[in-house]
Structure 1
């Protein structure tokens, strides 16, 4: 008989129900008592069999408050399925205030289920029967949050028009997001326009991460939806978190700098890896600078050709201890001295800065500047080497060996120049990328102050 009762509830066969009740008036009670899941009333409510449900409720009215394994009343199920006539009947047959506020195992009342499923007519009935059901929270989410998560703009519009005060519209979830934050996250253009045009939603509210809806939008892809949402937010006065507080986050700017300058080296963006990269960079610069300083010092104190060991009555520069190059090739000696001195001073500058322990040395931009100084030192020592080779060349074959040496050194210097130029261009691009947003922020702040 229990099997026949469930079959009749599935079919909505009122005649079979009456026959079963005549044979056993307690059959529904027995099934309800022994069942751990849906009762025949739940099944009939799910399928929308109005007459079958009415027949059971008239005979057993207390069953409308019987829950299934998910702690759902028949009203929960009828609301979720959108059976308007059944919902209206339940509300007239039971204590509507208690049933409308009843929560299932997920903490949702019948209004929550109807709203997330987009059952607008059912939502109207439930709100009219018990307005407080719309204020019930599901953990930290309001019914508006749930509607945004399930993309139900029509339900949102009705709820806001019915009881859309400032506090209700701007309620936040456990992450500090209001409904506009969530709508931007899910790129719901219709919902965003609805909120911006017809509500008092705070367009510059910050969540627990300090992000406004504009900040969240900037984190997504720059597609067509992005442009449409951006126009809507700007028209409503939305700005990034830095502008809403009239301040610029230096930490965020520095993080963007690190990412822009370090990412081409394929270094992960975690602080630990970034610090390790800086330490390795500093150690490498220190070692190379020390070697170049040693070579430059050796070249300056021991020029090619050595020193005169005797006197010359006709040459004032031909004295013991004077460099031979001063007499034999004075112009070449000046170039040699300039190149070796530039390399020596450049390397000493790098060593001095690295051992000073100044705090700004931890910034990646300073490390790039030190690298440029290192390139200057290396280039200077390359020219010093070339001049030394040309001085040492035998006079009978100066062209053959000198041409090869000159070609190799200048070829290498050309390659080095290309690398330096490419890095300078890249540095300029990074600076522009960092400067343009700051200029845009300043312009937005100026416009806002202008219209105050």
Structure 2
């Protein structure tokens, strides 16, 4: 039997009633009667789907059920550019918002009118409930912080523009804990980072929170830096003025260091094209050639190097043949042949307990080869730690300390008659250790000194050897 229009209208009316009553069972009964019911009411290019209706009225159970049956509805925008998540936020149905977020955290990233996502929306609100939601959004969907509005604004920009200090504190605190403070340097469509906006609005509390994490010399599209704007529109806070002067001195120091590393033409106002056109720096070359951007590769290299370092260090402590366990003052024989007495005890050259038994060229060959392998493994560990600098600085300090301890042990083990050889080995391997420790740090420092002057027009210029997938 062909169903007539009046029957369909009646079922749509019953559907609305089921949503109004938050009745999941009635919803399924209607779908059983008319399997295409949900699709029929959502054929408009910008439909106001049943999920929109349920979210707008705070009917959580039905909303989640429809999201399960029709996941695509959760991402559709109605004629006003609102998704179900946006509507639930606008009408303050936060239980529904949390239910939808739990079902699919990526719904936080759905852009609505003006490119505003759910994260942007709650960043405009100062209420305790909204601030709590903001924190939950960040934890549920880390990559949502990267979303931009149609004006290229991050959630941090949105919070500042709305004078929402509560939300800003949550955002900055989260960025610090996630080591994502570089996002504070992202620019809106006017070329402003969060600092110039805060300076212009005289938001002293916000300025004090970000001044240590934002480039004060980054220019907007009007060619003004935060320092210039601060001087034109000064705050009464003397501490802030002192911190801006401190930042100016640091910038002058950076410019001086850059001039030592690079040619004058590299210091253009817009250096990004020149930076990308340059040959790879030693830092980038080491990172790419060794495949260190891949976390699994780094793990394998570190595992093998750790085993090799441990084995070679242990070999230095327990060399072949071991150590003499007693003192002997027997005079050397007239010949180089070792004789034996009636007690079958060998007659050797004089020695002291604790001296290494291995001697001659065998001792030097063993020490040199073992030291070389140890040094190679230390070098590999230092290179592997490059992409995570400066967080891996403790690794370099530990490797330097371990290397010094190793070569001191190897030197002490050599007999006193080989003092010249011990000094030579100490100088050679100590120098190589210093080079292995210094080159990665030097290449990273030279890269960072130049890279910190790069100034993109809109979004940030990423730390290329350390690009991460958003999650």
Same fold (TM over 0.5): no
TM-score by length of 2: 0.42
TM-score by length of 1: 0.43
Instruction: Determine which structure has the larger helix proportion and give its number.
Output: 1
Larger RCO of the pair (alpha carbons < 8 Å, separation 6+)? 2
